[in-house]
Amino acid sequence: MKKTHKIHLISGPRNISTALMYAFGNREDMAIVDEPFYAYYLAQHPQLDHPGKEEVLASQSTDYNVVKENIIFGDYPQPYVFFKNMAHHLDGADWSFLKEVQNVFLIRSPRQLIASFAQVIAEPSLLDIGLKLEYDLLQYVLNSGQTPIVIDSNEVLANPEGQLNALCERLGIPFDTAMLRWAAGPRAEDGVWAKYWYANVHRSTGWKKQKTSEREFPSHLTALLKEAQEYYEKLREWVV
């Protein structure tokens, strides 16, 4: 079997990561995998109370090495596979597999990210929103000799075709206009958590800024915003 080109997205939550997964999944040459380490993360952090927690734990292996070997290093019939992953799902894990995949970091303004996340989990932590982990993972990738690819969701939404074309060029794959639109509703590849988190993208048929991006920021999370902003600015330095 021909070796599959493996693209690994590292994102924070409440970003456009699901829309990006749908865009790549709309290509005939691309397999997609939705957050393969979510159950592992919940098992490692039993204090967390996420929506549908028991469903998530029942739907995936909680063994990191099983997921790594069977999913990340598994075989796929398509020439390309896109893994959507959350930075915080790799907290405390062995990151060595990052040396063998092509890593893309997706970032979002923490003001928007935190305001959106707080609608589902009212008291998010720095770990929950993932920006520090994204920065730490970027440093790991850098130290491994890779040149990181960092994209900002606001820029993707402002110019989807231009940004996706540039992303594909950096990934060394051809751009496909199928990435610009998709069918409304869920996809078969969605994780069981989709009903709690994916309402906006399920209503969409392409790239469009959501009204939720304009919601008021919760004043009690100002300290978290200040801390997160520092990591966002460091990551922004790598956006081309």
pLDDT per residue as tens digits for the range 102-154:
999 999 999 988 988 888 788 889 998 899 999 999 999 999 999 989 999 99
Q: What mean pLDDT do residues 177-191 have?
A: 97
DSSP secondary structure string for all residues of 136-159: HHHHHHHHTT---EEEEHHHHHHS
d(CA 154, CA 136): 22
Q: What mean pLDDT do residues 182-206 have?
A: 95
Band the pLDDT of 210: cuts 50, 70, 90.
low
Does the pLDDT value for residue 6 go beyond 60? yes
What domains sit in the chain, N to C, each tagged with a CATH number? 5-236 (3.40.50.300)
User: What is the pLDDT, as a whole number, of residue 161?
Assistant: 97
Band the pLDDT of 204: cuts 50, 70, 90.
very high
Q: What mean pLDDT do residues 213-224 have?
A: 83
Phi, psi of 15 (to 5 degrees): -110, -160
Q: What mean pLDDT do residues 208-213 have?
A: 63
State the residue for tokens 């995936």. 60
Distance between alpha carbon 26 and the CA centroid of its chain, in Å? 17
User: What is the pLDDT, as a whole number, of residue 212?
Assistant: 52
Q: What is the token pair recorded at 159?
A: 């110019």
With DSSP H G I counted as helix, E B as strand and the rest as coil, what are the percentages for the chain, rounded to 5? 50, 15, 35
Q: 36-40, 56-60, 137-141, 206-210: which range is least confident on average?
A: 206-210
User: What is the pLDDT, as a whole number, of residue 53?
Assistant: 96
Going by C-beta distance under 8 Å and a sequence separation of 6 or more, which residues neighbour residue 162? none
Q: What is the token pair recorded at 130?
A: 């993932």
- One-letter amino acid at 67 equals V
User: What is the pLDDT, as a whole number, of residue 214?
Assistant: 63
DSSP three-state, residue 112 = helix
Band the pLDDT of 1: cuts 50, 70, 90.
very low
Q: What mean pLDDT do residues 8-13 have?
A: 94
Q: What is the token pair recorded at 55?
A: 């469903």
